[in-house]
A and B are shown apart, each in its own frame.
Chain A
Amino acid sequence: MEYDNNWLLSLMVFLPLIGAAVVMLIPKAQEELVKAVALGTTLVTAALGVFMLFDFDYGKSGDLQYVVDKEWINVINSRYILGVDGMSLPLIALTLLIVPLCLVYTFGHFPEPRNPKAILALILILETGMIGTFASQDLILFFVFFEVVLLPMFFMIAVWGGDDRRYASLKFFLYTMFGSALMLVSFLALYFLADGSIVGDQANTFSIVSLSEGASLGISRSAQLWIFAGMFVGFGVKVPMFPFHTWLPDAHTQAPTVGSVILAAVLLKLGTYGFIRIAIPMLPEAASAWAPFIGLLAVIGIIYGALGCLAQRDMKRLIAFSSVAHMGFVMLGISTLTDFGINAAIFGMVAHGLITGMLFFIAGSMKDRYHTLDMGRLGGLLVSAPRLGWILGFSAMASLGLPGLAGFWGEFPAILASYNPASILPESTFRGYMVVAALGTVLAAGYLLWMLQKTAMGNPKEEFADNEEITDVKKHEWIAWAPILALILLFGLYPRPIFTTTDDAVVKSLTVDIQGEEIENCLEVEGADLGKECFANVRETAESMKE
């Protein structure tokens, strides 16, 4: 690569970690210094991100940029490879935006038991893990960063969480760890079965680039299906997809506000990102076999999440279930295996990150004021705290996919994409999914408006009528929220920047070709049988190249 400024990504990944170490070394008494160092670190990291946003070559957004490729674990040919392309750039930017805002928000109201030093250090470690995952271009490195986020989040829920935090944190941990254990076994199977020599790498390789460019295409169909299954569980737990979602409502409800925000805004995206970065490009054939099933689970998630919302009394739990539904749209977009669907999915990830993150912020602020989120007791927010009420209304509208706000561009194209999935997929099935997903948007409008009615409309209940604690939006809340609100509106009105950034990378990730040997995209060959034949040819070609 011609980009020689490759220190940038490493710095971006590890700066927060250094910040965390510094924060831990500062004596407890100097709270202001702790805050300053933590915020300063994230701001500098974010500034690097802004520089990258301007410096990034959008004309070549399909290629990896700022690549670092260094030796790491030689015996297994696992390398320290970082790189950014159009697919990861928006997600890295999202992370870099959300973390400082979370810090600012926390400064205004530290959750109990306070201990600012510890919680700030944990947030910084989380940031390293998240950026690292999005930037990794080696499976083992990806796995390590993917796991780095587990412990800080575990402690954040366990220490600063609600009454049921012990159960929720352990459940969160065990679910995700189980998923990643199977994911790791899949990675290893890929390592041993794929042949990197086809693309000019070593025979056994963990390089994401080599594996997506065709190293894994020679693997037999049945093995591909098993490997994909392992990854499916690993990433699916994180998303979370329908049968694996039960950790999410507990974790969200018990987590402190910043924990919920980071969880919703970024951590869930690690799963969907894994699908589009690793599972689908490396195993397109297995993906096409699994896609109808993934689509089915996605629409079940949409409906189930929506019905789950309608059954909640707790506002935070409702938002958590709405996450299940929204991530269902993202997964539906991914399961179409078209560039259109996956572009929509990435947009959906960013939009969901902003909107649901915002909703969790508001829920946290309401909890601070009312000390309850029981929707039976809330009401009249527009009277007691009008600005907060309007922000809640705005975010709820964005969440239900109102055109003109960011949520729309995540959901609508995903539904549209399932009208016309990849040619190899059964069209009628996906059109069925489309209808169900469209119904899901109606339900979404239902539960969000119902929530708004319960909490914001009407007059305040007697117990909160003249409560002095219920103040309007405070200064730190404005600082933390204004950028998010602005971006929700901006991307709603002008979604182009994200779509143009991601498109090249997405198209590239879906194209089956082996270096030197141009092979058409089997997913788009007309007729499912012809597509399967095309994959069989690809396998044969890969076999012959091995010899």
Chain B
Amino acid sequence: MIDAFSSAFGLLASSGAFERPPIDWHAVAPELCLLGGGALLTLIDVIWLEKGRSITSALAGIVMLIPLIPILTLAIDSEDRSMFKGAFVVDKYSLIIKALFLLSGYLVVLLSTNYIAEGEYWENEYYGMLISSVLGMVLMASARDLITIFVALELLSIPAYLLAAWRKKDHKSNEAGLKYYLMGVFASAIMLYGMSLIFGVSGSTILEEINESIASGGANTPVITLGITFVIIGFGFKVSAFPFHTWAPDTYEGAPTPVTAFLAVASKAAGFVALMNLVVIGFIGQEDVFQPLIWILAALSMTAGNVMALRQTNIVRLMAYSGIAQAGFMLAPLAVAGEGPAIADKAVSAVVTYLVIYAAMNIGAFGIILAVSRKTKSADLESYNGLFRTSPSLAIVMTVFLASLAGIPPLGGWYAKFSVFTSLTSASTNWGYGLAVVAAINAVIAFGYYGKIAMRMWVEDPHETHVGEVKVPVSLLTALVLTAGTTIAFGVAPGIVTHFTDVSLIAFGG
């Protein structure tokens, strides 16, 4: 991490001896806690060997939770902090995002505990990778310059490539990891090329300075256009937006299920956070470039994701396609973000709200998938037949998650979709209304497949090999209770979410 900053400053400082810029230790405390915790975890494995195994997952969970303490103190302090000439910013927006990543990480640890312990996997390394990936995400929340964003992105991606291939004796998992890696690197290359173009024109890597430079009008427009397009396409891969989604279904299917949950929620959220930082701070004023691009990506992702999800027979692949559609929903507000500061703020709040609610309901759904596949050893949709009769409580909880994903009140998902609608209609442009109607139609299509799973659980007879109740281990149960509770609470009292997600990216930049 420190290397990243020094290299950033190496580029900026044209001459003179290097002086360490002042560091606000309080502001970087969450990252440092995570780093220290990860190191401790590795150390324990080296020293205690097998004896340490039993507590690894519990420890990993604690490591995920500890950085919440400095985040809380920073939030109480409520002072916006900026370091390294504005490359690293801690404000309300980045704090809520950091908390989201850490809590998602904690839930993934809960999902992983039995899965990893019961298979023949490397446990300690697994959690180490998970923690470093989360570290990259937490860093991303504060990143406000191109290089920090890129380093954060690689820090979160590289462990994720490895995690996807964690079931190393399984061909599918190898395929998953390799595909994810190749596509990921390809996307990084495109993005980096775009970044270099932007840097070349604007002469800065700090997003605010880029914005000032290209807004002043002297910049070379075609190059800027190309640069912005490449950067957005690069993140299009990361958030699995159509037509850059092709890796997602295979990777989701092959990767260990807890890792899939991690990729589907945290990794995707990190992509969105980077995209928001870039678009709302860096590219604002260039709305005729990014708005049409994002509009098309959003509309295509929603529609294509939904239509393809309708045909799936494997639940993980179905969730992959539904995730593509959900990514379309999350992209949508950014398609009107250039219409003015107030609307940009609304768009950012809508995306953050969506991310928070999506994390709860999606990790929850993967928790159920994990629980069911523990017994049926399969991810076929058929293994959900008659779940209501064999394990009624699991079926009810899964119904809650599915209905929430479909956006049915009073479960969390409705408010996520609603805030997207609000942000789109608040722009009062024809493009905004048009996308709102596309989104409304897609919200209906989505129930086609979510409802199909629900129907299997409630209506069909259980498969004869699948009779008997599904047993849920304690850690998984904890994750399910937490996610189901928050999904319902967010839906009944959306004020809980909006209290935290009423954030602004522009206010700080001024």
Q: Which residues of A contact B (CB under 8 A)?
A: 24, 71-76, 118, 140, 143-145, 147-148, 150-151, 154-155, 158-159, 165-166, 169-170, 173-174, 177-178, 181-182, 184-185, 188-189, 191-192
In the complex, which of the residues A71, A75, A76 has the most CB atoms of chain B within 10 Å of its own CB atom?
A75
Extra contacts, 11 of them, besides A72-B494, A73-B415 (Cβ < 8 A), are A24-B396, A71-B495, A147-B410, A151-B408, A155-B454, A155-B458, A158-B458, A158-B459, A174-B448, A188-B422, A188-B436
Contact between chains at B494 and A73 (CB < 8 Å)? yes
Known: A151-B408, A170-B455, A177-B444. Is A188-B421 also a contact (CB below 8 A)?
A: yes
Contact between chains at A159 and B459 (CB < 8 Å)? yes
Measured in the bound complex, the distance between the Cα atoms of B444 and A177 in whole Å is 6
Interface string of B435-462 (1 = CB under 8 A from A): 0110011011001100100110011000
* Any A CB within 8 A of the CB of B487: no
In the complex, which of the residues A76, A165, A174, A191 has the most CB atoms of chain B within 10 Å of its own CB atom?
A76
Known: A75-B349, A154-B451, A158-B458. Is A144-B498 also a contact (CB below 8 A)?
A: no
Shortest CB distance B416–A (Å): 13
Known: A71-B495, A75-B349, A155-B458. Is A144-B440 also a contact (CB below 8 A)?
A: no
Known: A75-B498, A159-B458. Is A184-B421 also a contact (CB below 8 A)?
A: yes
Residues of B within 8 Å of A169, CB to CB, are 455
Contact between chains at A72 and B428 (CB < 8 Å)? no
Contact between chains at A177 and B437 (CB < 8 Å)? no
Residues of B within 8 Å of A145, CB to CB, are 409
Specify the chain B residue showing the minimal Cβ separation from A189: B425
Specify the chain B residue showing the minimal Cβ separation from A143: B409
* Any A CB within 8 A of the CB of B426: yes
A-B contact pairs, 12 of them (CB 8 A): A73-B495, A73-B498, A118-B392, A144-B410, A147-B414, A170-B451, A173-B451, A181-B444, A185-B425, A185-B440, A188-B425, A192-B426
Contact between chains at A150 and B440 (CB < 8 Å)? no
Specify the chain A residue showing the minimal Cβ separation from B493: A72
Contact between chains at B436 and A185 (CB < 8 Å)? yes
* Any A CB within 8 A of the CB of B418: yes
Shortest CB distance B251–A (Å): 31
Known: A158-B455, A173-B451, A178-B444. Is A185-B437 also a contact (CB below 8 A)?
A: yes
Measured in the bound complex, the distance between the Cα atoms of B414 and A148 in whole Å is 11
Measured in the bound complex, the distance between the Cα atoms of B54 and A356 in whole Å is 64
Contact between chains at B455 and A148 (CB < 8 Å)? no
Q: How many residue pairs between the two chains, A and B, have CB atoms under 8 Å in the bound complex?
A: 86
Contact between chains at A192 and B425 (CB < 8 Å)? yes
Residues of A within 8 Å of B399, CB to CB, are 151
Which of A166, A177, A182, A188 sits near B455, CB closer than 8 Å?
A166
Residues of A within 8 Å of B440, CB to CB, are 181-182, 184-185
Residues of A within 8 Å of B418, CB to CB, are 140, 184
Contact between chains at A165 and B459 (CB < 8 Å)? yes
* Any A CB within 8 A of the CB of B403: yes
Measured in the bound complex, the distance between the Cα atoms of B435 and A188 in whole Å is 14
Contact between chains at A181 and B498 (CB < 8 Å)? no
Contact between chains at B443 and A181 (CB < 8 Å)? yes
Shortest CB distance B396–A (Å): 8
Specify the chain B residue showing the minimal Cβ separation from A80: B493
* Any A CB within 8 A of the CB of B380: no
Measured in the bound complex, the distance between the Cα atoms of B171 and A235 in whole Å is 53
Residues of A within 8 Å of B458, CB to CB, are 155, 158-159
Shortest CB distance A248–B (Å): 18
Known: A76-B422, A177-B447, A189-B425. Is A166-B459 also a contact (CB below 8 A)?
A: yes
Contact between chains at B495 and A150 (CB < 8 Å)? no
Main secondary structure of the interface of A (DSSP, over half): helix
Shortest CB distance B399–A (Å): 8
Specify the chain A residue showing the minimal Cβ separation from B403: A151
Shortest CB distance A36–B (Å): 21
Measured in the bound complex, the distance between the Cα atoms of B456 and A166 in whole Å is 10
Residues of B within 8 Å of A73, CB to CB, are 415, 494-495, 498
Which of B408, B448, B495 sits near A72, CB closer than 8 Å?
B495
Residues of B within 8 Å of A140, CB to CB, are 418
* Any A CB within 8 A of the CB of B502: yes
Residues of B within 8 Å of A155, CB to CB, are 454, 458
Shortest CB distance B430–A (Å): 12
Measured in the bound complex, the distance between the Cα atoms of B388 and A166 in whole Å is 16
Measured in the bound complex, the distance between the Cα atoms of B444 and A181 in whole Å is 8
Contact between chains at A174 and B444 (CB < 8 Å)? yes
Within 8 A of A (CB), among B470-510: 493-495, 498-499, 502
Specify the chain A residue showing the minimal Cβ separation from B418: A184
Measured in the bound complex, the distance between the Cα atoms of B499 and A71 in whole Å is 13
Residues of A within 8 Å of B443, CB to CB, are 177, 181
Specify the chain B residue showing the minimal Cβ separation from A193: B428
Residues of A within 8 Å of B451, CB to CB, are 154, 170, 173
Measured in the bound complex, the distance between the Cα atoms of B422 and A177 in whole Å is 18
- 8 closest A-B pairs by beta carbon, nearest first, are A181-B440, A144-B409, A147-B409, A75-B498, A188-B425, A178-B444, A73-B494, A177-B444
Residues of A within 8 Å of B498, CB to CB, are 73-76
Residues of B within 8 Å of A188, CB to CB, are 421-422, 425, 436
Shortest CB distance B400–A (Å): 10
Which of B388, B408, B436, B493 sits near A147, CB closer than 8 Å?
B408
Contact between chains at B425 and A150 (CB < 8 Å)? no
Known: A148-B409, A148-B410, A170-B455. Is A75-B502 also a contact (CB below 8 A)?
A: yes
Shortest CB distance A335–B (Å): 26
Residues of A within 8 Å of B441, CB to CB, are 178, 181
Interface string of B59-70 (1 = CB under 8 A from A): 000000000000
Specify the chain B residue showing the minimal Cβ separation from A183: B440
Shortest CB distance B497–A (Å): 9
Specify the chain B residue showing the minimal Cβ separation from A176: B444
Measured in the bound complex, the distance between the Cα atoms of B495 and A155 in whole Å is 29
Residues of B within 8 Å of A72, CB to CB, are 493-495
Residues of B within 8 Å of A189, CB to CB, are 425
Residues of B within 8 Å of A147, CB to CB, are 408-410, 414
Measured in the bound complex, the distance between the Cα atoms of B454 and A148 in whole Å is 16
Specify the chain A residue showing the minimal Cβ separation from B461: A113
Measured in the bound complex, the distance between the Cα atoms of B421 and A155 in whole Å is 28
Specify the chain A residue showing the minimal Cβ separation from B437: A185
Residues of B within 8 Å of A170, CB to CB, are 448, 451, 455
Within 8 A of A (CB), among B384-407: 388, 392, 396, 399, 403
Shortest CB distance A521–B (Å): 31
Residues of B within 8 Å of A75, CB to CB, are 349, 495, 498, 502
Contact between chains at B408 and A150 (CB < 8 Å)? yes
Specify the chain A residue showing the minimal Cβ separation from B442: A181
In the complex, which of the residues B421, B458, B459, B499 has the most CB atoms of chain A within 10 Å of its own CB atom?
B459
Contact between chains at B421 and A185 (CB < 8 Å)? yes
Which of B414, B415, B447, B459 sits near A173, CB closer than 8 Å?
B447
Measured in the bound complex, the distance between the Cα atoms of B492 and A147 in whole Å is 13
Residues of A within 8 Å of B396, CB to CB, are 24
Specify the chain A residue showing the minimal Cβ separation from B494: A73
Residues of B within 8 Å of A159, CB to CB, are 388, 458-459
Specify the chain B residue showing the minimal Cβ separation from A78: B494
